[in-house]
Amino acid sequence: MISRRIVIVGAGFGGLACAKELAGTDADVTLIDRRNYHLFVPLLYQVATAALSPADIARPIRRIFGRYRNIHTVLGEVTAIDTAAKTIRVDDGHTFPYDVLVLATGSQYSYFGHPEWQRFAEGPRTLDEARRIRTRLLTAFERAEAADDAAERDRLMTIVIVGGGPTGVEMAGAVGELTRHALARDFRHIDPRRAHVLLIEAGPRLLPSFPKSLSDYAKQALERLGVTVMLSQPVQNIDAGGVMIGGKRVAAGTVVWGAGVQASNIGRLLKAELARGGQILVDTNLAVRGLSDVYALGDVALTPGDDGRPLPALAQVAKQQGEYLGRALAESNVPVTPFRFHNRGDTAVIGRNAAVFDFGRFQVKGYFAWLLWALIHVYLLVGFENRLGVVSHWVWNYLTYERGARLIMEESRGEQNS
């Protein structure tokens, strides 16, 4: 008897959870990803701000599934999907047949019709992007130290973060702490504590998906860190020298993007119905509409919730969907009962001892929320070594105000200068 061939594309939270549920079963599972590691995306901003090293939040996929004989990992990027022949092809030319196809390729940043801005304002979505942001940020202070012109020095010491959602808030808080503490004693001709950190949000408040009381707290906590919060100020242009906001130019040495995401491009290979943001439309059991034996989950899918509104693009949504789909596929070919999302709280950290947690019926902020945020993120990391490494870095940073990963990578610096 031939085992069912299940191909999972994407080893993020959703794809990894689905594969784990199928590990050790009679299904023949192929897990394909363009990188050889699972990445804990929620902590990428800490790599970008030198709090953590890349290895702290990434784990090789083969190491996760090495003991399971029915899980095969493939390094590659999908270039074609033939739903009639039930095959997919990757960039090296290899073709993989499937009985069931699961798409979990996540999302990428959206620049709202201005893809040219990405060159000047990357967002922390991959390890390479986080390393380039860290290099750009640290290099700007090195150049400010050597600058003779006061205006150029001020420009280099101005950091603009675009987007007031969780990524932007966390990034702004981390940069604020970096400039006020970790870098403060390292330079002789400049004072990093005098750096200008600006957080730009097009809407009327930060963290729009959170209750207003938590949004207000986040704004106050950021301002205590020296961050200037600019609300109702959409960005009009971004170039190598800074940003245009409300008809006024802000010269900046570093611009970081965190204003919105869109689904990865794999939906276009399916020839399936897509939403405006590129998400694949799926039914309540995560089956792609109009196609048989094809499922999509996580950020790449537009999944209706119990109230009929699409579920948010959160790691906990993708993880629960992966577990649901994996368990269903382990038992049969088709999930029968609809997927139901159980909200375990939405969170954002602002800085040392400051975070917000929204559990729906009640909210938590301040030190307890910050501690809860840290415990949950450590728990969700894959691998004991990763947990140990992150905890040790955090304890050291907390006790000393130091950042141990302040490395300027030569190849990234070359890209910036080119």
Task: Annotate 337-369 with b (16+ C-beta within 10 A) or e (fewer).
Answer: eebebeeebbbbbbbbebbbbbeeeebbbeeeb
- The whole-number pLDDT of residue 272 equals 85
Which tens digits make up the pLDDT trace of 46-89?
999 999 999 999 999 999 999 999 999 999 999 999 999 999 99
> Count of CB atoms within 10 A of residue 84's CB?
5
CA dist 39 and 54 (Å) reads 9
Q: What is the CA radius of gyration of the chain?
A: 22
What is the separation of C-alpha 235 from the centre of its chain, rounded to a whole number of angstroms?
Answer: 21
Tokens 């794809």 correspond to 15
The Cα 19–Cα 65 span in angstroms is 9
- pTM score > 0.85 for this model? yes
Measuring CA to CA, how many Å separate 412 from each of 133, 186, 291, 408? Answer: 9, 22, 42, 8
Contact present, 269 and 32 (Cβ < 8 Å)? no
- What CATH fold (topology level) applies to the domain 5-34+76-109+261-331? FAD/NAD(P)-binding domain (3.50.50)
Q: Is there a common fold for 5-34+76-109+261-331 and 115-259+352-417?
A: yes
> Where do the structural domains in the chain lie, given as residue ranges?
5-34+76-109+261-331, 115-259+352-417
Helix locations, 87-192, DSSP H: 127-146, 150-156, 166-177
C-alpha 211/C-alpha 214 separation (Å) is 6
- Compute the distance between CA of residue 63 and CA of residue 57 in angstroms, rounded to an integer: 14
Can you give the pLDDT of all 418 residues of the chain as single tens digits? 467 999 999 999 999 999 999 999 999 999 999 999 999 999 999 999 999 999 999 999 999 999 999 999 999 999 999 999 999 999 999 999 999 999 999 999 999 999 999 999 999 999 999 999 999 999 999 999 999 999 999 999 999 999 999 999 999 999 999 999 989 888 999 999 999 999 999 999 999 999 999 999 999 999 999 999 999 999 999 999 999 998 999 999 999 999 988 999 999 998 888 998 889 999 999 999 999 999 999 999 999 888 888 998 899 999 999 999 999 999 876 787 899 999 888 999 999 999 999 998 899 999 999 999 999 999 888 887 888 889 988 888 888 887 767 778 765 444 443 3
Active site amino acids:
170
Alpha carbon 59 to chain centroid, angstroms: 16
Burial grade of 411 (CB within 10 A; 0-12, 13-18, 19 or more):
exposed
| CATH fold label, 115-259+352-417 | FAD/NAD(P)-binding domain (3.50.50)
